[in-house]
Copies of this chain bind each other. A is one copy, B any other.
């Protein structure tokens, strides 16, 4: 990847870029594709497009008494989980709403965009709302990743295994097998710059870490096949108790989207069904599978603090060599380029950017954490129960969205995200 020198975009430029990117990644989808809700965890694409728009309408535009809302029912239809702004249409039934259709939702987007763009010319407006707008853009980037994971799940439910976007994968990679060792000591964890971050990345605080080592490479598909062939999914002693229940209740015998055809492991990707490449990082595994693999390998998952400290060190090495963070890893550099990475193929290119990596850390508040007042305070804090932290970003994460302190989180049985693992010991 070449180095691009550019000045920092304005908020208005970022607004255009982020909003356009939602269009970019849904351009190839039909109205029917955008209706599917193939699991309660996922949402229809049309809902993502509307909900991200609802966010700006609700938290920015409606603060202005002169604003005319687009449709009175949308406040209810497209609210996800914000109790403070009213009731929510039941999540499992999102796939039963056909109107507004995709065209109607694009009209809604255009209307809200135009209202936002006009107002963003005013410095006073920016002064009042720039933080909320920044949250809204980061929120939309999160939903852009969900759009990719949700449409992947939706298409996989179709026995014809449709293709989202044709792609030729770059297969070259060579794992080093190295481990990076870190001394015990007190370390500072959490966000520290004046740049945007989510509330759950703060406050910056001290932790004590014992000595640890972390693998330089992600666990690969080939390594995971060894686990499978060694009976990994049939040996209860390798699993957490709830994980063993999941294996048996849901008949897990491989990562999500893998099928074995005539002795060859194949996997469904957004480019259709392709052979599993042993060098690629394993992806679409749950916390339970990541944990079982680590136990089988005689290692463990890193804590999120170990991961962050190791990630900081890696970034600082890279910073020394004068490259910007965005050009590392496999992040799609979404804001300024048009190509879309749709499957992780590099297991050895740094800490971040290929797959989200399960850590052993339960998702909890940092000491002194307080969520913001009001409805925005429902963004992160209320989910701090029975979820585990993932670090590192994925091919489906925008590079302008990611930071080393970023905390993603999902329940231990979730597999439809681009989630893999890196070992620690």
**Interface-centre pick from A35, A208, A383 (highest chain B CB count, 10 A):** A35
Q: Decide if A239 touches B382 in the complex (CB within 8 Å).
A: yes
A385 at interface by CB-CB < 8 Å: yes
Are A208's CB and B210's CB within 8 A? Answer: no
Neighbouring B residues of A412 by C-beta, 8 Å? 385-386
Look across to chain B and name the residue whose beta carbon is closest to the beta carbon of A203: B210
- Stretch from A53-61, A155-163, A173-181, A349-357 forming part of the interface with B: A155-163
**A35 CB contact (under 8 Å) in B36, B76, B162, B362:** B36
Cα of A287 to Cα of B384 in the assembled complex, Å: 12
Whether B206 contacts A207 by the Cβ 8 Å rule is no
Interface check A30, CB cutoff 8 A: yes
> A186 → chain B, closest Cβ, in Å?
6
Q: How far, in whole Å, are A142 and B103 apart by their CA atoms in the complex?
A: 32
Interface pair B210/A186, CB less than 8 Å apart: no
Given known pairs A81-B241, A159-B73, the reply for A154 and B96 (CB within 8 Å) is yes
In the bound complex, residues from chain B placing their C-beta under 8 Å from that of A34 are 32
Q: Could you tell me the distance between the alpha carbons of A186 and B184 in the complex, rounded to whole angstroms?
A: 12
- A240 engages B32 (CB within 8 Å): no
Closest residue of chain B to A102 (Cβ to Cβ) is B32
Asked whether, in the complex, the Cβ of A360 is within 8 Å of the Cβ of B364, the reply is yes
Q: Is the CB of A98 within 8 A of B36?
A: yes
A205 to B207, CA, bound (A): 13
Question: Does any Cβ of B come within 8 Å of A420's Cβ?
Answer: no
Which of A83, A186, A241, A412 gathers most chain B CB within 10 Å?
A241
Question: Across the interface, do A382 and B240 meet the contact criterion of CB distance under 8 Å?
Answer: yes
Within 8 A of B (CB), among A39-81: 46, 73, 76-77, 81
Interface centre among A160, A162, A210, A412 (most CB of B within 10 A): A160
- Residue A231 CB within 8 A of the other chain: no
Interface flags for A73-117 (1: CB within 8 Å of B; 0: not) read 100110001011000010001011111011000000000000000
Q: Which residues of B contact A241 (CB under 8 A)?
A: 81, 382-383, 385
Residue among B30, B184, B186 making CB contact with A98, cutoff 8 Å: B30
Q: A237 to B30, Cβ gap below 8 A?
A: no
A392 within 8 A of B: no
Looking at A31, A32, A35, A360, the one whose CB has the most chain B CB atoms below 10 A away is A32
Bound state CA distance, A154 and B97, in angstroms? 8
User: A378-392 interface mask toward B, CB cutoff 8 Å, 1 = contact, 0 = none?
Assistant: 100011111000000
Contact B237 A84 (CB under 8 A): yes
CA distance A382 to B237 in the complex (A): 8
CA distance A15 to B382 in the complex (A): 46
Question: What are the nearest 8 A-B pairs in CB distance?
Answer: A362-B362, A32-B98, A208-B208, A83-B236, A35-B35, A31-B31, A32-B101, A241-B382
Interface residues of A (CB under 8 A from B): 30-38, 46, 73, 76-77, 81, 83-84, 89, 93, 95-99, 101-102, 154-155, 157-160, 162, 184, 186, 205-208, 210, 236-237, 239-244, 287-288, 360-362, 364-365, 367-368, 377-378, 382-386, 412
Could you show 29 A-B contacts with beta carbons less than 8 Å apart?
A: A30-B98, A31-B101, A32-B32, A32-B34, A32-B99, A36-B97, A38-B93, A77-B159, A84-B237, A89-B159, A95-B96, A96-B154, A97-B158, A98-B154, A98-B155, A98-B158, A98-B162, A99-B155, A184-B206, A207-B208, A208-B208, A210-B367, A237-B377, A237-B378, A241-B385, A243-B385, A287-B385, A360-B365, A361-B364
